[in-house]
Every structure is written in C-alpha cells, then in structure tokens.
Amino acid sequence: MTTAAISRAATAARLKGLKCRECGAVVPIGPAYVCEECFGPLEVIYDYDEIRRQMTRESVAKGPRSIWRYLPLLPVSEDCIVTLHEGMTPLVPAPRLGKELGLRNLWIKNDAVNPTYSFKDRVVACAVSRAKEFGFETVSCASTGNLGCSVAAFGGVSGMKPVVFIPHDLEPSKIAGIGSYSPTLIAVEGNYDDVNRLCAEISATKKWAFVNINLRPFYSEGSKTLGYEVAEQLGWRAPDHVVVPIASGSLLCKVYKGLHELETLGLIGPVKTRVSGAQGLGCSPVATAFLGNKDEIVPVKPNTIAKSLAIGNPADGPYALDIIRKTGGSAAGISDDDIVTAIKLLARTEGIFTETAGGVTIGTLAKLAREGKIGKDEVTVAYITGNGYKTQEAIVPTLPKPPVIKPTVKDVEAVLGR
Ligand SMILES: Cc1ncc(COP(=O)(O)O)c(C=O)c1O
Ligand SMILES: [Zn+2]
C-alpha cells in the first residue's frame, strides 16, 4: 500500500460518519453540513475504540509541535494535511493578573501567537486539509476578520484558490492582514450575518469549500485542540474552570467536547470543568439568555468594538448555552470601555497584547472573579484567541501621546520632571 492509502485507511477506520445533533441521523463523510431529515447541524463522529489503538500519551508526545499531534481525533487524512505549524501555543501561568483578580491558580492560553495571529488557524487547518481531501479547487469563507486572514494564508499555500468575504467596515489592520496573502477579497455592505447569508446562497450554486458553511463539521473540529492542548500542558488533567469567548459559540462547545473525548479515551481522569462564556455587551445574545434564565437565544444587531465576536445570531448559541448551564459555568457581556481596560490589564500584568476578543475574555474573567463565580483556587484557564496588533484602533485613542524631545539628556530630564 502507498503512504496515502495507509493514511486514508486509518482515517476510514476512525471516522464513523456525520451525525445530526438534533435527530441523531447518520450520513457518510462528505461535504454536507445540514441534516436532510430535520435541517439540524451535522457533527463528525468517531470510533473511540479504534482511536484508543491509534493514540496514547506517548504517541502524542512524539508527534509534531502543532495541532497535528492529535491527528487521530481530527477528521483529516495524514497525506492531505495543509499546515503552517499552527497550535501548541503557550499555556502560561498568570500570577500577576491572578493577584489583581484574587485568583491563585490562573493560566492564560495564548493563542494570539498562531501563524496568522488567531485561533482560527486551528479550524482553518482542518477545513482546508479536508477541502483538499474532497478535491475542491476554491476555499472560501464569510469572516469577521480573523477567519479571512487564516483562509487567505492556508488557501494560498494549499494550491487552492482563496476567496474571502468580509463586512465592509472591518478594522483596517484586519483588512491589511487578509490582503497581504493576496486572496480574492470582497467587502460586502452589511454586517457579518448579512455576509454569512450571502455566502450560504453562493454555496448552493458554486462548488466551493466554504470553510464555515459546507465544511463546518470538519472546520469546527479544529477547535477541540484548544481543549487537548490545555489538558496536556497541565500534565494531562482538565482545568477546573475555563473562560471562552463566544461568537458563533462553536469554540466553546468544542473545548468542552475535546476535554470529554480525552476522558473517553482514558487519557485524563473525570472531567468536571466549569465552562464560562464571554461576549461583548453590544453583541451578547448567549450571555443575555443565560443571565435572564431563558432557553431561547434572541438574535441581536451587533454594536461592539469586539468585531471578531460580532455574530448576532450565533449558530451554536443554544448548544453553548446548554454547556454553560450543565457545567455550572457562567457568562457575561462586557462594555466597550471595559474591553479596552481589560486589554491594558492583561498587557500590563502578563505582557500579552490581545485584540478586543481577548479584552472580552479578560473582562469576563475579572467580572466573574469579582462576583465570586470563579473559585479562588480553581485551576482556571482564560483563552486569548487573537493578537492585539489586529485591533490597534480600539486602544490608540485611549493611550497618551509620547512626548517628542530633542536628543539631549537635558530634554530627557525635563520630561521626566527633574
Ligand atoms: C479572536 C476570536 N476569538 C473567538 C472567536 C469565537 O469563535 P466561535 O465562532 O467559534 O464562537 C472568534 C470568531 O471569529 C474570534 O475571531
Ligand atoms: Zn436531523
């Protein structure tokens, strides 16, 4: 057998199909995303007995320093992997931030240092690799900015053609970031939900791989690696509490799924992790439902500086809400001013400069800590999912202008106030 045939056979052995999250119907692996019976979303299902044979703590440790060390738990064949060495980002202790918030066991998962500076490289690596495996020639997406950057980068190196759709009013640094990879970039008059609707229409007529539409079941699996890595980096144990930003709600659901898969495989002990969700106050449909004790998530028109989280009608919102409730987690909506304060707090205390989504996460962490909703000794992980250089506009107006001086010691001493 060739290497490719061996890797396809291993994939076939561990992937059982796509299962509807609503009615449980199962269909074969293919570029499908909604159930034909009930229109529910489809999810990849695995044969965990087979994966137990393919994966141990030792085999993971010998794997690459990227998300691909967990290949048996990802829906891709080894010979089709498209990688920019994404993942295995630092999990760092945060003692100074912890001290300010009264938390004695706080960690930051710094995913702002991925190849295109956000966690989206994890999901896009999975989706683009799968698109290649399915034989697509074009990869596309509707993006709030970070996803577009990642699709442009991975699409470019994969040999497929990247086409990125964005809302026209994205932050200039995100537009520049996407443009640098030379994709076809199209700005749409409307918000993310409008762009997403447009892309869903296009996907019905063009044979393109829309990573977050027709490849969504494969794409979203990449986020599970943020659960795996944290458990491995903590010495193969689940954290007690995680704080996760919510846009569509997929990341939160997959961190939960990832931790529970490791438990199923016997790689970690019983998972009791409490999962809390973070949103910007101007786009907080999940936090609002949680705090109002409602089951229904009411869509909103986003108005927040956290544009990467500005999805007013989150596809995975109900599932995220359910996980927050059943794990005993919590949720919060953070105002624009508090997002900026939190960005600066993280930078000052731990030297990590995050984008507005990270401000939402740290703002939520601080709020929940103040309210006593995070235990002082809980092993708590806050997920920082994007880099501060992507949303400089958010903090520039709040920073003092540096004094401009002549290159003399006298001038230095004058500004130092001596
Ligand atoms: C920086 C950042 N963090 C978190 C998220 C949330 O992702 P999800 O849509 O999976 O909830 C996004 C989504 O765009 C993002 O860009
Ligand atoms: Zn169904």
pLDDT in tens, 37-60: 999 999 999 999 999 999 999 999
| Better pLDDT: 230 or 418 | 230
Would you place residue 282 in the very low, low, confident or very high pLDDT band (cuts 50, 70, 90)? very high
Q: Is 246 in the pocket of ligand 1 (CB under 6 A)?
A: yes
Mean per-residue pLDDT for 139-151?
Answer: 95
Structure tokens at 123: 């999901």
pLDDT band at 349 (very low <50, low <70, confident <90, very high): very high
> Which residue owns the Cα nearest ligand 1 atom 6?
247
Residue range 218-241: mean pLDDT, rounded: 98
pLDDT at 198 exceeding the cut of 90:
yes
Average pLDDT over residues 99-107: 98
d(CA 177, CA 175): 5
Q: Kindly state if the Cβ of 150 falls inside 6 Å of ligand 1.
A: no
Phi, psi values for residue 4, rounded to 5°: -60, -45
- Distance, CA of 79 to CA of 236 (rounded, Å): 28
Counting ligand 1 atoms within 8 A of each CB, the residue from 147, 304, 308, 389 with the most, and so the one to mutate, is: 308
Q: Decide: pTM greater than 0.85.
A: yes
**% of the chain surpassing 70 pLDDT:** 100
C-alpha closest to that of 86 among 128, 43, 145: 128
Q: Do 21 and 33 contact (CB within 8 A), yes or no? A: no
Query: CB within 5 A of ion ligand 2: which residues?
Result: 20, 22-23, 25, 35, 37-38, 40
286 lines ligand 1 (CB under 6 A): no
**Ligand 1 and 255: CB distance under 6 A:** no
Cα of 5 from ligand 1 centre, angstroms: 35
User: pLDDT tier at 265 (50, 70, 90 boundaries)?
Assistant: very high
Task: Name the residue at shortest CA distance from atom 4 of ligand 1.
Answer: 245
- Strands of 268-400, DSSP E: 274-280, 331-334, 380-384
For β-strands 91-93 and 106-110, DSSP reports them as antiparallel
**Ligand 1 mutation pick, 86, 110, 118, 122, max ligand atoms within 8 A of CB:** 118
Q: Whose CA is nearest to atom 15 of ligand 1?
A: 308
Tokens of residue 8, six digits: 């396809």
pLDDT exceeds 80 at position 418: no
* Dihedral (CA of 391, 396, 402, 404) sign: positive
| Domains along the chain with CATH numbers | 91-116+223-392 (3.40.50.1100)
Per-residue confidence (pLDDT) for residue 371, from 0 to 100: 98
Ligand 1 lined by 74 (C-beta under 6 Å): no
How confident is the prediction for the chain on average, in pLDDT? 96
User: Sign of the CA dihedral 178, 179, 185, 189?
Assistant: positive
| Ligand 1 pocket residue status of 357, Cβ below 6 Å | yes
Ligand 1 lined by 250 (C-beta under 6 Å): yes
The predicted structure's pLDDT at residue 173: 87
Phi, psi of 184 (to 5 degrees): -80, 120
Shortest-distance atom of ligand 1 to CA 144: 14
Residue type, 325: R
User: Could you tell me if the CB of 285 is within 6 A of ligand 1?
Assistant: no
